[in-house]
Amino acid sequence: RKEVEQDPGPFNVPEGATVAFNCTYSNSASQSFFWYRQDCRKEPKLLMSVYSSGNEDGRFTAQLNRASQYISLLIRDSKLSDSATYLCVVFASGTYKYIFGTGTRLKVLA
Amino acid sequence: GAVVSQHPSWVICKSGTSVKIECRSLDFQATTMFWYRQFPKQSLMLMATSNEGSKATYEQGVEKDKFLINHASLTLSTLTVTSAHPEDSSFYICSAGDNEQFFGPGTRLTVL
């Protein structure tokens, strides 16, 4: 089983739609969780950190479920510019490694 | 946010040559930097953890004698791909940071 798993997609959604991605992780000792966005042929950029209480940043909402070991990202009112690959990243201080999921591709269609 | 630079941004070389990639943290010091490799349509795979002043820690399956890492200062880590072969062609990315990881823009290596 992969340490961090994501549905690779692609998710094709119309503008204005709401879309949600899930990510599961296998290491119960994982401590920090992030969503990164990667555009084609570019480096990943932090979208948001994920906190236990859940957090929201504009149209983006992230949730963490430690019991079930998954995190989620919800995008409301999708824009064309949201088209990208969304990477789930998990960090465990014991191993001091950031482990990336394979990414979920999102295409927002006009 | 903090800035991490990489040089070169792309390189094309002949099989058998060595290629050095630099990763610099421009406005902060980094005792630890990470080196990743990303093949097309795949995620970032951690190759090694670069530690300032000590040996790098390599992931399983990554040959330390082929991918030489030097972290000589708190702002610079270098990755040298020795005797590069076409299968080493990939997108190499470094990152640094305390909690949030800041990524360099990546180096696209093509080995002919």
DSSP string, A11-60: EEEETT--EEEEEEES-TT--EEEEEEE-TTS--EEEEEE-TT-EEETTE
* Residue from B43, B54, B94 to probe the interface with A (highest A Cβ count within 10 Å): B43
Residue A97 is predicted with a pLDDT of 85
Phi, psi of A60 (to 5 degrees): -110, 130
Among A51-55, A68-72, A84-88, B9-13, which stretch is predicted with the lowest mean pLDDT?
A51-55
B108 or A53: which leads in pLDDT: B108
Q: Which chain B residues contact residue A37 at CB under 8 A?
A: none
Q: For A43, which of B46, B100, B105 is closest by C-beta distance?
A: B105
Contacts with B106 from chain A: Cβ below 8 Å: 42-43
Q: What is the largest CA-CA distance in chain A?
A: 45
Where residue A48 falls among pLDDT bands split at 50, 70, 90?
A: very high
Say yes or no: A62 contacts chain B, CB-CB below 8 A. Answer: no
> Inter-chain contact B34–A41, Cβ cutoff 8 Å?
no
- Please name the residue that has the structure tokens 């899930």: A22
Average pLDDT score over residue span A39-54: 89
pLDDT at B1: 67
For residue A100, the chain B residues in CB contact (below 8 A) are 36, 43-46
| Among candidates A44, A49, A97 on the partner chain, residue whose Cβ is nearest the Cβ of B103 | A44
Share of residues in chain B with pLDDT > 90 (%): 77
User: Does A38 have pLDDT greater than 90?
Assistant: yes
Q: Does A51 touch chain B (CB under 8 A)?
A: no
Which residues, in sequence order, are CB contacts of A37 under 8 Å at separation 6+? A44, A45, A46, A47, A84, A85, A86, A87
Across chain A, mean pLDDT equals: 92
At B98 the pLDDT is 75
Taking contacts as CB-CB distances below 8 angstroms, the residues of chain A near B58 are none
Whole-angstrom Cα distance, residue A101 to residue B53?
30
Q: How confident is the model at residue B42 (pLDDT cuts 50, 70, 90)?
A: confident
Yes or no: say if B6 and B109 are a contact pair by the CB < 8 Å rule: no
Question: Which 3 state secondary structure label does DSSP give B88?
Answer: helix
pLDDT digits (tens, 9 = 90+) for B54-89: 899 999 999 999 999 999 899 999 999 999 999 999
Q: Please state the rounded mean pLDDT for residues A87-102.
A: 87
Confidence at A21, pLDDT banded by 50, 70, 90: very high
What's the rounded Cα separation, in Å, for the pair A33 and A80?
26
pLDDT average, residue stretch A59-70? 94
User: Greatest CA span in chain B, whole angstroms?
Assistant: 38
